[in-house]
Amino acid sequence: MRKKKTKLSILITALVCLVVIVALIITDLLVSVATSERLQSNIEEKAIAISRTVAKAQWVIDGLENEEEEWRVQTYTMEIQSATDVLFIVVMDMEGIRKSHPNPEEIGKRFVGGDEVAALEGREHVSISTGTLGESLRAFTPIFNDHGEQLGAVAVGISLQEVNDVLADNHTSILKGSVIGIIVGIIGALIVASYIKRALLGLEPFEIAKILEERSAMLQSAREAIIAVDSKGTITLVNKSALNLFEKAGMSGDPIGKKVTEFMPTSRLEWVLKTRQPEFDEEQQMNGMTILVNRVPIIVNDEVVGAISTFRDLTEIKQQAKQLTGVKLYVEALRAQSHEFMNKLHVILGMVKTESYDELNDYIHQIVNHRSTELNHVIKRIKDSVLAGFILGKLSYAREKHITLDVQTKSVIPKASSEQMVHELITILGNLIDNALEAVIKAKEKTVLVQLEYSNERLHIRVQDTGPGIPDGEQGDIFKKGYSTKGENRGYGLYLVKQSVEKLGGAMEYESRATGMTFYVDIPYKTRRDKR
């Protein structure tokens, strides 16, 4: 059975109550001890002062020296006892026989308690003892005559019940304060708990812990490299994929806690923090490695509290894109050829049914010669099989759309020195040809011309169409990402072309006329045989 979690409000309330109760108990003990000690000290001082006063009284001295004056002792001590509100004042002779007592019947009897001995020996002292009137604090002062002879002693007793009564009053006050403190503590705890819960978006601590665990597992399992920084640009989070890329790029050490500008100078996260603007699909160099990066600011209550960046190795992305592009081209070529072949079969079937065998013979020879000429031209002039297959696919697609695609090669195009160059070349040609084909779809003359020429380790490309061209006011925007005259979610073709041309170290120009658009591309083109 799963154990039920305790709510935060209950924990805080219980903690506050516990703290208040413990604090009040300790306060009660400290106050009680301090009060008891202070009261006892005050009582001792009071009792000693009274006993000294009585011991100096002439009536007391005369009463102890002269039996005829003895009655004055009782009268005097009762007046002092009544005035000072003490429990008793007892005067005794050197034998410990009482000469005064609150209860007259006790006069003439020996003093009870046993703590009078020191006083009869001439020493003043204070003690607590139990006598005929109960437990009391007693102050003893010896009585001397004018000649320095000790005549006896005086004992002043104050009931300890006064101390107990005062302490009881203190306990009652502290108890009342404790109850009020607990009530205030509970109310305060509930208010604090409510505030904390609102700050935590209504989540309990165990729910937050669960979310954090799930978030950590999700981040660590993501194939995208993820790095996050706080508002000051300090790295606060890095997942496993990011650590692997850092290691691959030769960046060692734990990045957590470091400034992103020191660990990853080209991250541009500090710029995102400053401008509050996200950046998507940007290429970035990281210690010699090219990565594709997205950067987004983290904004809470209209305040930038950090930024997060996700990135992947661009080489891996391009390999995947190359595979997808190859499959797409292959499918498009097959679909176009299949459609074209079905159309020709319908023509042949019609000629067979009409028994137009001479025309059928000429038509089949025409098809075979045309396909053979086209295939031979492309294969003989373009030595890279991937690029040749790509061109053949575009030719089939153009015929399907009833567009004349004229591919001219002024020289043999040798194999490229690397697959990367072929990939970039296909990106350039593919987007330029696709744009040209789309541009002439609705034109009266549907013609696209592609010219390729290899010379002095450079490849010259010309793509010309008979479409409507680009309006003068929009020509400066054609290479911007997302710009398109064909609707939303378009406008990436020429942007990718420009990136690929720049990456290869080439140059590109264009001409726009009312009768069409022409693009000129000039790129370095190292061949396979140049490698040693």
What confidence category does residue 367 fall into, taking pLDDT thresholds of 50, 70 and 90? low
> Which superfamily is assigned to 9-165 in CATH?
PAS domain (3.30.450.20)
**What is the pLDDT of the chain when averaged over all its residues?**
80
What is the predicted pLDDT for the residue at 531?
Answer: 42
pLDDT tens per residue, range 316-348: 656 555 555 555 555 665 565 666 667 767 777
Rounded CA-CA distance 172/180 in Å is 12
What is the predicted pLDDT for the residue at 341?
Answer: 65
Measured at the alpha carbon of residue 284, what is the angle toward residues 278 and 287, in degrees to the nearest 5? Answer: 135
Return the domain boundaries, the chain: 9-165, 223-313, 356-530
For residue 1, is pLDDT > 50? no
Rounded CA-CA distance 101/109 in Å is 10
How large a percentage of the chain has pLDDT more than 90?
A: 9
* Lowest-confidence region among 36-45, 53-62, 508-517: 36-45
Name the 3-class secondary structure at 374.
helix
pLDDT tens per residue, range 266-302: 888 888 888 889 988 888 888 878 788 899 998 888 8
366: left (phi over 0), alpha (psi -120 to 50) or beta: alpha
pLDDT tens per residue, range 126-147: 888 877 777 788 899 999 988 8
pLDDT, average across residues 42-57: 87
Q: What is the DSSP string of 412-473?
A: -BPPBS-HHHHHHHHHHHHHHHHHHHHHTTTSSS-EEEEEEEEETTEEEEEEEE-S----GG
pLDDT tens per residue, range 217-254: 777 667 788 889 998 889 988 888 888 888 888 887 88
Sheet strands (E) in 61-122: 88-93
pTM over 0.95: no
Query: What fold is seen in the domain 223-313?
Result: Beta-Lactamase (3.30.450)
What is the predicted pLDDT for the residue at 532?
Answer: 39
Q: Which helix or strand (DSSP H or E) is residue 130 part of?
A: strand 125-131
Rounded CA-CA distance 402/348 in Å is 19
What confidence category does residue 478 fall into, taking pLDDT thresholds of 50, 70 and 90? confident
For residue 373, is pLDDT > 60? no
What is the predicted pLDDT for the residue at 411?
Answer: 87
Rounded CA-CA distance 476/486 in Å is 17
Radius of gyration of the chain (CA): 54
Rounded CA-CA distance 37/31 in Å is 10
Rounded CA-CA distance 205/335 in Å is 58
For residue 314, is pLDDT > 70? no
Closest C-alpha to 450, from 500, 345, 373, 377: 377
What confidence category does residue 520 fall into, taking pLDDT thresholds of 50, 70 and 90? very high
Query: What fold is seen in the domain 356-530?
Result: Heat Shock Protein 90 (3.30.565)
pLDDT, average across residues 71-79: 87
Sheet strands (E) in 205-333: 225-230, 235-238, 279-286, 289-300, 303-313
Asked if domains 9-165 and 223-313 share a fold, the reply is yes
